[in-house]
């Protein structure tokens, strides 16, 4: 079976059946493809596995499986898969770090979130800036958080309105882009919304500092 055929098989599983059955079948497929690759192959190419075409269907299956578990609210089960994907390919071409950051934040594991943020500290995305801001607030780094908030607002002025509920999110969320547009902000909310909503103190602080912005009443 070719790599493209295996990827198509994975996508067909997700589209054709319910989430519970899809999770079971993807788990079986991931195990089967892992055995096909072999432990020696995975160990040899660990850290750079995505760049081996024969391994991409396996990594794609793990990513889809982890995402299904995450969407089903099984965050602890999803964690192990996202963490494995980062071990397998350090430059994270699949974007597992964004899902992992969301899981850590929602589960209240600030220490793990901080370590992940540091590992990808050069990430220029607004998702990473807002996750960094959340971690800073949780650890009481308020002066630093104020500076990071300013940076986050400059990166994309639309995210704060969505986070605080002052601007309503449309039902359809587009694919994330690179420009500081409402569309980019909407895509970022897939990660930031659950993470920030899980922290009432952080949300209260964000609303409070928002009211103190120039042109608003204190």
| In-domain check, residue 105 | no
**Domain co-membership, 35 together with 83:** yes
| In-domain check, residue 46 | yes
| In-domain check, residue 204 | yes
Q: Quick one: DSSP state of residue 100?
A: H
Residue 100 to residue 24: CA distance in whole angstroms: 21
| In-domain check, residue 109 | no
pLDDT at 214 > cutoff 80: no
Domain span at residue 64 reads 1-94
**Domain co-membership, 77 together with 170:** no
| In-domain check, residue 99 | no
Nearest one of 1, 54, 2, 64 to 27, comparing CA atoms: 64
| In-domain check, residue 27 | yes
**Domain co-membership, 89 together with 137:** no
| In-domain check, residue 138 | yes
**Domain co-membership, 75 together with 123:** no
Boundary (domain end) residue, out of 94, 129, 154:
94
**Domain co-membership, 88 together with 136:** no
Give residue 14's pLDDT: 55
DSSP secondary structure of 105-120: HHHT-HHHHHHHHHHT
Residue 75 to residue 162: CA distance in whole angstroms: 23
Which residue matches tokens 């605080």?
164
Most confident of 16-20, 66-70, 177-181: 66-70
**Domain co-membership, 124 together with 72:** no
Say if pTM beats, i.e. exceeds, 0.75: yes
Nearest one of 129, 130, 53 to 89, comparing CA atoms: 53
Whether 78 contacts 99, CB under 8 Å: yes
Residue 59 C-beta-side C-alpha neighbours within 13 Å: 26
Nearest one of 108, 111, 83 to 97, comparing CA atoms: 83
**Domain co-membership, 67 together with 139:** no
**Domain co-membership, 132 together with 90:** no
**Domain co-membership, 90 together with 125:** no
Task: Say if residue 210 is exposed, middle or buried (CB neighbours under 10 Å; 0-12, 13-18, 19+).
Answer: middle
Alpha carbon 179 to chain centroid, angstroms: 19
| In-domain check, residue 103 | no
> Does an H or E element contain 5, and which?
helix 3-16
Boundary (domain end) residue, out of 78, 94, 110:
94
Give residue 218's pLDDT: 37
Which of 215 and 143 is assigned the larger pLDDT? 143
Band of pLDDT at residue 156, cut at 50, 70 and 90: very high
The per-residue pLDDT of the chain, averaged, comes to 88
190-203, pLDDT tens digit by residue? 999 999 999 999 99
39-75, pLDDT tens digit by residue? 999 999 999 999 999 999 999 999 999 999 999 999 9
145-155, pLDDT tens digit by residue? 999 999 999 99
Residue 175 to residue 190: CA distance in whole angstroms: 10
**Domain co-membership, 125 together with 178:** yes
**Domain co-membership, 148 together with 83:** no
**Domain co-membership, 17 together with 88:** yes
| Domains held by the chain: number | 2
């Amino acid at each position: 079976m070719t790599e493209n055929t295996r990827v198509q098989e994975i996508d067909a599983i997700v589209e054709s059946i319910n989430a519970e059955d899809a999770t079971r079948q993807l788990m079986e497929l991931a195990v089967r493809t892992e055995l096909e690759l072999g432990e020696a192959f995975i160990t040899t190419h660990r850290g750079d596995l995505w760049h081996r075409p024969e391994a991409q269907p396996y990594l794609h299956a793990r990513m889809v499986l982890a995402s299904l578990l995450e969407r089903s609210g099984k965050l602890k089960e999803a964690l192990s898969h996202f963490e494995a994907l980062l071990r397998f390919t350090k430059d994270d071409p699949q974007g597992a770090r964004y899902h992992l950051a969301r899981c850590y934040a929602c589960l209240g594991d600030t220490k793990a979130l901080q370590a992940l943020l540091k590992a990808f500290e050069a990430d220029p995305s607004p998702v990473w800036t807002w996750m960094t801001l959340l971690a800073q607030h949780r650890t009481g780094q308020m002066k630093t958080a104020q500076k990071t908030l300013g940076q986050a607002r400059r990166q994309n002025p639309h995210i704060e309105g969505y986070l605080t509920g002052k601007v309503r999110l449309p039902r359809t969320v587009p694919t994330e882009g690179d420009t500081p547009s409402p569309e980019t902000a909407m895509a970022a909310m897939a990660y930031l919304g659950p993470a920030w909503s899980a922290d009432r103190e952080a949300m209260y602080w964000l609303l409070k500092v928002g009211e103190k912005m120039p042109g608003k009443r204190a």
